[in-house]
Amino acid sequence: MISKSYNFLLGLFTVIFLSLPSIGEEEIDIWKNKKIEVNERQENPDVSKNDNQIIFKENQKVKPSQLIKIEDGLTVSTRETKVFGIYDPQDFNFNLNMWSSTKAEDVRASLKRIKKINLSKTSNEILENILLSFSYPPMGMGNKEFVDLKINWMIENNRNDLIENFLKQNQEFDGKSKAVQFLVDENISEANIQKGCEKIKFIDSTIKDSYLEKFKIYCLVFNNKNSQAQLLLDLLREQKQSDQFFDDKINFLLGISDKTINKINEENLLNFYLSSVTIKDFKYTPTKKTKKEIWRFLNAANLIKLEDLNDKKRIIELEIAADNGQVDQKIIFDIYRQIKFNLNTLINAKNLYQTLEPIDARSLIYQKYLLSENINLKVEYLFLLEELFKKDNLQNIYSKYLSESLKKIGLKNIPKDYQEIAKKKILIYEEGSVGKVKYNDKILHQSKIIKFYLENEEQKKVQKDIDKIFKKISKNKKYFYSAKDLALVDALKKDGFIIPENFKQAELSSKYDVPKNLIQLIRGNQDAFLALKIVEIIGEDEPHQLDPETIYFITNLLNQIDLINIRNKFLVSALPQRV
C-alpha cells in the first residue's frame, strides 16, 4: 500500500514537473532586483555560463542590479552580479555583454584619446549612449572602476541631468557620495541653495560622507529647522566628523553664539559659502589659484567687483579669468563700458585706439560700437574688436558676443564684404544648427528616399520612391554613384528594401576599403568597442563634414553589427543636403 502511494506521488510530481515552462521562456526582469536561478544541468536557450560570466542573448531585456544564483549539483553558491547605467542597451541595439569581449586596457586607451578631442554633438551623443547603457564591465575591469568611468564622464561634461537619472536608477554603488556632492556643489556654485538642498534626497544610509552630512545640517538651518539641525550636529560631533570651523558657523547661524571667525575658508565650496554668508561686508579677491567652483559662485552671487577702474592689473586678471571660463564675459564688457574717454577721443576712435594700452583700446572700440547707429560702422567695429581680442589671445571672451551681435543685426543687413565671414561666425555658435533639408531627386543620397530616416516615411511609399528614382538616375549615363550613395543603399538593403537588380552594388563598393582592424572587432564580437572607435573617427566633426568614403565605411560597419539606431543618427546628419 505504501509502495503504491509512493509510486502515485512520484508519478504526479513527474507530470507537474514536466508541465512547468522552462526557465528560458520566462522574461527576466532585472528592474525589480529579483534573484534569478540558473541551473547549469538544464539546457537553457537564453542563459549560458562562460568563464565565470553570465552571458545573455541579444533579445533579452536587461535592467540594473541583477542578482544571479548559480546551482551546481547539490552545492548552491550565490554571486551578486550587478550592472549600472541609465539606458537599456536594447534601445541602441546593444546587450548586457557589449563589453564582455573587450580588454579593459583597450577601453582605457580609447577613452584617453577621446578626452583630448573636442567632440561634436553627434559624437558626444553616441558616446553617451555607449557609456551609460547597462552592461557588464570589460575584461579585466571591476565594477568600481567601470562605475567611476561613467560618473567621471558625466561630471567632466557637467551632465547634472544624467547624474540625477543615474542616482535614481542605481541605488547602491561605489562613488555615490562623489556624484551627490557634485550635484550639491553645482547648485551652491550657482548660488541656488534651495535647489541644492533638494538633492539631499539622494543622501541615504549607504552614504557615509561628512561633507554631505554638513550640507544636510546647513539645509535644515536654511529651512528654519533649527532643532533638527542641532540634533544632527551633535551626532556629527559624537562621530568626530565635524570640525571647529563648521561648528563655529552653525552655532553662529543658530544664534547660539554672537561671534564668528572672520577668516575666509577656501578648503571647499561649502566652507567658502558659509564664510560668505556669515562674514559682515564679505570681500574676496580671487587669484589664479582660486578653485573653479568658487569662481562660479562669485559670479552667480554677484561678488566679483572692481572698485578702481584704473587698476589695470586687476582688469587683466579678470580678462584672463573670463577667457578661461571662470568669470562671466558680461562683467568684462561692463568694465569696458565704464572706462571714461573724452569726447574728442570717442570721435576719433579709429585713429587713436592704436596709441592706447590694450584694455583702453578694446574699451574705446567697444563704446564706439555701442554709440554707432550706422549698421556698416557697427559691423566694422565688431570685427575690429575681434582683432584686438585676438592680439592678446582673449578670443574666448569675445567669440560668443560677436556671434550674438551679428545675429542680432541680421545676416541680410550685414554689408556684402562681411556676409560670408559673418555667416561662419554665427553658425559656429548655433549648436546643432544644420539647416532645413532640401531634397534633390537627381542625386541619390539627397533624394526624397531619405525621408524614411528623416520623417519616418511609410515603407511602401519609400519603396515606390526607390524604384522611381533609380529608374530616373539610370537614364543619366554620366551619373556617378558616390560613396554617400552607397552608404544609403547599404542602409536601405539592411532595412529590407529592394534595390533594382541592375544596380551593381558589389562592383561599386569594391572601390572602397573598410579598415581591416575594425572588421576584426566585428569578428571578435566587440560591438561596443567598435562603436567607441567610430566616436574617435567622427571626433570633432559632424557626420556631414566627413569625407564620403568615411561616411560609407562607418555606415557599413554599423550595419554589420546591427547598431541601427546609432546608424540612423549618423545618416540623418551625413546624407541630406541642407540649406
pLDDT at position 29? 37
Q: What percentage of the chain exceeds 90 in pLDDT?
A: 66
Mean pLDDT across the chain: 85
For the chain, the structural domain boundaries read 24-143, 175-305, 313-428, 444-574
The answer to whether 306 and 335 have CB atoms below 8 angstroms apart is yes
Q: Dump pLDDT digits (tens) for 115-155.
A: 999 999 999 999 999 999 999 999 999 999 999 999 999 99
pLDDT, greater one: 200 or 126: 126
Q: Dump pLDDT digits (tens) for 245-256.
A: 999 999 999 999
**CA torsion, ordered 553, 556, 558, 561, to nearest 10 deg:** -130
| 3-class secondary-structure state, position 39 | strand
Angle of helix 548-560 versus helix 516-523 axis, rounded to 10: 10
- Dist. CA 81–CA 354, nearest whole Å: 68
pLDDT at position 7? 52
| 3-class secondary-structure state, position 512 | coil
pLDDT, greater one: 493 or 199: 493
| 3-class secondary-structure state, position 36 | strand
pLDDT at position 499? 95
pLDDT at position 416? 87
List b or e across 103-141, with b for residues whose CB sees 16 or more CB atoms inside 10 angstroms.
Answer: ebebbeebbeebeeeebbebbbebbbbbbbbbbbbbbeb
pLDDT at position 493? 96
Cα–Cα distance list, 337 to 200, 342, 345, 355 (Å):
42, 13, 15, 19
- Dist. CA 571–CA 555, nearest whole Å: 8
Lowest-pLDDT choice from 167-181, 219-233, 264-278: 167-181
Name every residue whose Cβ is closer than 8 Å to that of residue 492 and which is 6 or more positions away in sequence: 449, 452, 466, 499
pLDDT at position 79? 43
Angle of helix 483-494 versus helix 564-574 axis, rounded to 10: 150
Lowest-pLDDT choice from 7-11, 204-208, 435-439: 7-11
* Residue positions counted in the chain: 579
- Dist. CA 22–CA 29, nearest whole Å: 16
